[in-house]
Structure 1
Amino acid sequence: MLLLTTAVILVIIIVIQAGMLAKLREDRRAEAYRSAENVLRTLALTIDRNLRLIEVSILGVREALALPEVQAMPASSQNLLLFDRAAAPQYLGSMLVLDADGNIVIDSGQMAPRKANFGDRDYFAAHRERDAGTFLSRPYASRLRQNDPSIGMTVRLSRPDGAFDGVVLAAIRLAFFKSLFEKVDLGPDSIVSLVNTSGTIIYRHPSTDDGGNVGENVASSPVFQQMRDAPGASFSGTSKIDGLTRYYVTEKIGDFPLILSIGISTSAIYAEWTLQAIMVGLLTLVVCGLLAVIVLVLRRALIHSYEMEEQLEHMAVTDALTQIPNRRALEMVLDTEMRRTAREKSELSVLVIDLDFFKQINDTYGHAVGDAMLRNVGRQVTRSIRRPGDFAARLGGEEFVVILPSTGAAGATFMAERIRKAIAATHVATEDGHRVNTTASIGVASGIVQPSDPPDRLLREADGALYKAKGGGRNRVVGSHPDGGIAAAQ
């Protein structure tokens, strides 16, 4: 019997360690995803901003060309007027005005237009057939800049009768995307790629051809099809180009027909975890061997003592009605987080949640319904917070508190809105089948704590913001900022 008991305990230890390793594995995946998503958003904003600057430039040229006074100017004056903004966007190759046959008539590169015809380019054909709006071409080798890889952004020029009269072209050097992507390092075998919505690669880093895989078509790739069908989604897939399986995050570039993606190698994501798992596994085997001797002697006494202590501790810090942490637990956690935040100089946010007109529910439907509502709200609040360090407790009555470590005002307001909507969506059914709903007002306080601050500073600030939410009409989120400003959402 003792041998059987010892074996069971060792199995439990192994299972616990396996669960911990599984959680660490998921945390590692989540961390890699967050890092990739942050980089993705930064790159997407940079690309979108530069493309929009170029779009503004070519639209300005088109608008100016439509003015009679500009048409009457000498060519040199037109050049200076039309292209005074052309150098602003980064990595802009050249801007040209092409006539209806594709010949250069105005050239930002020099006063006398260079001799070249671009009637065969896809951007020219697209506008000749119809007004294609702002058009982004497939990659091409520039004929004016020694085959420099580029893409063209064009808008159509039309005569007064609507007939095709040429295009305004801005050539964007692919060196722009190369300079951005080469700065990204998310581990071995990670990639950054920009693809147009027809499946043509604009630029990929690192590439398999040392040139960015420019112009390669991946329209048939399952990875691209997922990007195209659900831009902004994240998923796992195997690359058609190099055959590696990666975890992808994607985002569409503004209103342009471009999709940016970052792929992180799954083997790279879990490489550190694998080493950690081996070390933990070996350590677990050693510990189990030692415990196998000790547990045979002390098992019964230790287990009994631990269970009693855990039960008493749980009862002391758990709210009996909602089964979430109570005010005592809140005070301990808030004190700990305030000190940690002051030490680390990181941000901390506190939400104070108060149910609107809760007394009327008790008075109208009875305390049983009110208690059921509090239990539902407690569940909604705890379900809404997802990070391991986030904490929710019942302050008392119909008030709840959420503590969000390492979270600023924007993140706290977002979380408060999620909680407010979750509470508004819940209901309790009375004995006669009536559905009882409630709403909540939420005060938000965020900031970096100073060592001299009292432990309840953010709690009091959030409570003050809550009263402003109540006074502003209830069912809303109000944040109290250090500068005294108030941000409200409903």
Structure 2
Amino acid sequence: MALTKFAGAFLARPTLFIVGALAAAFTLACITAVSLYQMRLDALARARDAADNLSLILQRDIERNIEVYELSIQAVIDGVNDPGTLRLPSHIRQRVLFDRSTNAQDMGSLLVTNTAGDVIIDSRSVPPRKLNLGDRDYFRVQQQSADVGLFISKPFSPHLTKTDTSIGLSQRLTDSHGQFAGIVVGTLRLNYFHRLFDGMTLGDHGSITLVRVDGTVLMRRPYSQSDIGQSIAGVPAFKPLIQADQGSYIGTAALDGAQRLYSFKHIGRYPLIVVVGLATEDIYAEWKRRAWAIGSVVALLDILIVLMSVMFAKQFRKRLEMERQLHLLANTDSLTGVGTRRVLDSALDAEWRRASRNRQSLSALMVDADNFKNFNDHYGHATGDSALRTIARCIVENIRRPGDFVGRYGGEEFCVLLPNTDLRGAVQVAEKIRSAVLAAEQANFSNRCGRLSVSIGVAVFDGNAQPGDSPDQLVHMADQRLYEAKAAGRNTVVPQQEHSQLAVA
């Protein structure tokens, strides 16, 4: 029942169609927005996984190669510390100290120096090339500190080639007293990192950076010679790299200003960090294309839903207006504008039932134009119609409550229903109507007063229905009082007698 009432109320108000359509469009837009946001989060999560995997691959590759080179350096240290190895002929000592791994691609020379930095053993030449490495950072650091371990230098150009930018991996040599006795250093061409980074799939704006823990850039993709050796230690994007052994974050690159999702990992126990950056522009590129496509379709659907609802509401409003007009025509007397006889019967039945249920009084007035036949014959039907309209207007103007009703009973006769009105109140209303018609001063030669007048009969139902009582009896009693008013000389109000069966006097 409640659902039926709601549906009826909804259908009776076409504007609700537009409100419903707007709500549906808004809901669809919200669902789409949430879905697109989730797709964006998924794209970021996939990119983070990809960046983590790339950084892990690079970390393991770099760590393995540095470890191999470190083992070669340690083998040289062990050989140099063995007096028997040093007494071997130069060419045999060369084979003992340096294995074939030192000749791998991108591996430079393995060199042994004395305390002054002069090269005394050279993996590439017998006798050793005349070089002094005393000015290199990897020499000075080992010379000044006994517990550095494997030191990875800043990028430099070798003394001999001047072209292949390299880094040095050095370890300290000590004598039998624990004093500094020189270094063993191996050089690694940065081309190794260059080729390694170029083999990775990053997107159009991605980057890979190998940096020392002090912020010195050793290699970067996209490659620029001016970036190599720069320090980024002071930029905000570097701080997360030294706060944990691994992680990921979104930041702005210090070297090119691009926003990227960074995944970084420290290279084992070595003072190096590899950083993989996937540009947010690349991460969201596919998502943006899909978002535009989906968003455009949903926006178009929302617009269509709203437009169709507006059009439907307009058409439905027109239909309701037509139905209202038809209903008005069917229920309204076309001449006087009051209710028709059919509507009067329905209203009488409904008010009778309500009065019986609530034990309240219901009054009925029968109003009839005096000498109307003679009026019509003398003045014509057009003037007669005008007189009926005048009577109807006077009745309507004097029944002000929402429940009061007036209907055309037939011809020049009108019936007025006054719910919850006793006999005294009904007579007062009847007198107001009679006086209003007389005050209209429409001429009627056949009346003694010379003006249009009405006679009114009044009957009241007290709300206590007896067996055999019916609404028609109330109207019949009011009609009888009307005939008594006519017999009494017209232009008068005659109420029902106190002894009548339906009386409440």
Give the TM-score of the pair, scaled to structure 2: 0.56
Alignment-derived partner of residue 220 in structure 1: 234
Alignment-derived partner of residue 92 in structure 2: 77
Alignment-derived partner of residue 23 in structure 2: 8
Contact 2:72 2:99 in 1 (8 A): no
- Alpha-carbon deviations, 1:181-209, whole Å to 9, x = none? 111231122110000011100011103xx
Instruction: Give unmatched runs, 5+ long, in structure 2.
Output: 1-15, 313-505
Cα distance between partner residues in 2 of 1:57 and 1:228: 29
Alignment-derived partner of residue 448 in structure 2: none
Alignment-derived partner of residue 42 in structure 1: 57
Cα distance between partner residues in 2 of 1:223 and 1:167: 35
Alignment-derived partner of residue 495 in structure 2: none
Question: Once the two structures are aligned, what percentage of the paired residues are identical?
Answer: 33
Question: Are positions 1:98 and 2:113 aligned together?
Answer: yes
Cα distance between partner residues in 1 of 2:132 and 2:239: 35
| Secondary structure in structure 2 of the residue aligned to 1:259 | strand
AA at the equivalent of 1:146: K
Contact 1:86 1:95 in 2 (8 A): no
Alignment-derived partner of residue 333 in structure 2: none
Alignment-derived partner of residue 120 in structure 1: 135
| Secondary structure in structure 2 of the residue aligned to 1:233 | strand
Question: Are positions 1:270 and 2:290 aligned together?
Answer: no
Contact 2:62 2:267 in 1 (8 A): yes
Question: Are positions 1:175 and 2:191 aligned together?
Answer: yes
Matches within 5 A, 1:473-484: none
Cα distance between partner residues in 1 of 2:195 and 2:275: 16
Matches within 5 A, 1:89-488: 90-131=105-146, 132-207=148-223, 210-211=224-225, 213-291=227-305
- 1:295 Cα deviation (Å)? 8.4
- Alpha-carbon deviations, 1:120-169, whole Å to 9, x = none? 11111111112211111111111123331000001111110111111111
Contact 2:248 2:261 in 1 (8 A): yes
AA at the equivalent of 1:76: H
AA at the equivalent of 2:264: T
- Alpha-carbon deviations, 1:355-410, whole Å to 9, x = none? xxxxxxxxxxxxxxxxxxxxxxxxxxxxxxxxxxxxxxxxxxxxxxxxxxxxxxxx
- 1:87 Cα deviation (Å)? 2.9
The structure having more radius of gyration, on CA atoms, is 2
AA at the equivalent of 1:95: L
Contact 2:102 2:110 in 1 (8 A): no
| Secondary structure in structure 2 of the residue aligned to 1:186 | coil
- 1:292 Cα deviation (Å)? 5.0
Contact 2:264 2:273 in 1 (8 A): yes
Cα distance between partner residues in 1 of 2:309 and 2:54: 50
AA at the equivalent of 2:150: T
Give the TM-score of the pair, scaled to structure 1: 0.58
| Secondary structure in structure 1 of the residue aligned to 2:99 | coil
| Secondary structure in structure 1 of the residue aligned to 2:102 | coil
Contact 2:18 2:306 in 1 (8 A): no
Alignment-derived partner of residue 11 in structure 2: none
Cα distance between partner residues in 2 of 1:150 and 1:61: 20
Cα distance between partner residues in 1 of 2:304 and 2:255: 51
- The alignment yields a C-alpha RMSD, in angstroms, of 2.0
Cα distance between partner residues in 1 of 2:164 and 2:131: 16
How many pairs does the alignment contain? Answer: 296
Cα distance between partner residues in 2 of 1:67 and 1:101: 21
- 1:71 Cα deviation (Å)? 1.8
Contact 1:93 1:170 in 2 (8 A): yes
Cα distance between partner residues in 2 of 1:64 and 1:178: 33
- 1:228 Cα deviation (Å)? 1.5
Instruction: Give unmatched runs, 5+ long, in structure 1.
Output: 299-490
AA at the equivalent of 1:110: S
User: Closer, same or farther in 2 for the Cα pair 1:184/1:34, shift >3 Å?
Assistant: same
| Secondary structure in structure 2 of the residue aligned to 1:87 | helix
Contact 2:55 2:264 in 1 (8 A): yes
Contact 2:173 2:180 in 1 (8 A): yes
AA at the equivalent of 2:204: P
Contact 1:76 1:111 in 2 (8 A): yes
| Secondary structure in structure 2 of the residue aligned to 1:41 | helix
The one of 36, 58, 67 equivalent to 2:82 is 67
Alignment-derived partner of residue 33 in structure 2: 18
| Secondary structure in structure 2 of the residue aligned to 1:167 | strand
Contact 1:53 1:89 in 2 (8 A): no
- 1:96 Cα deviation (Å)? 0.6
AA at the equivalent of 2:165: P
- 1:226 Cα deviation (Å)? 1.5
Contact 2:107 2:187 in 1 (8 A): yes
- Alpha-carbon deviations, 1:68-100, whole Å to 9, x = none? 211211222211110124436552111111111
User: Closer, same or farther in 2 for the Cα pair 1:95/1:38, shift >3 Å?
Assistant: same
- 1:254 Cα deviation (Å)? 0.7
AA at the equivalent of 1:216: Q
Cα distance between partner residues in 2 of 1:195 and 1:48: 14
| Secondary structure in structure 2 of the residue aligned to 1:95 | strand
Cα distance between partner residues in 2 of 1:25 and 1:295: 32
Cα distance between partner residues in 2 of 1:157 and 1:75: 20
Cα distance between partner residues in 1 of 2:115 and 2:100: 24
Contact 2:259 2:280 in 1 (8 A): yes
Contact 1:200 1:217 in 2 (8 A): yes
Contact 2:17 2:309 in 1 (8 A): no
| Secondary structure in structure 2 of the residue aligned to 1:63 | helix
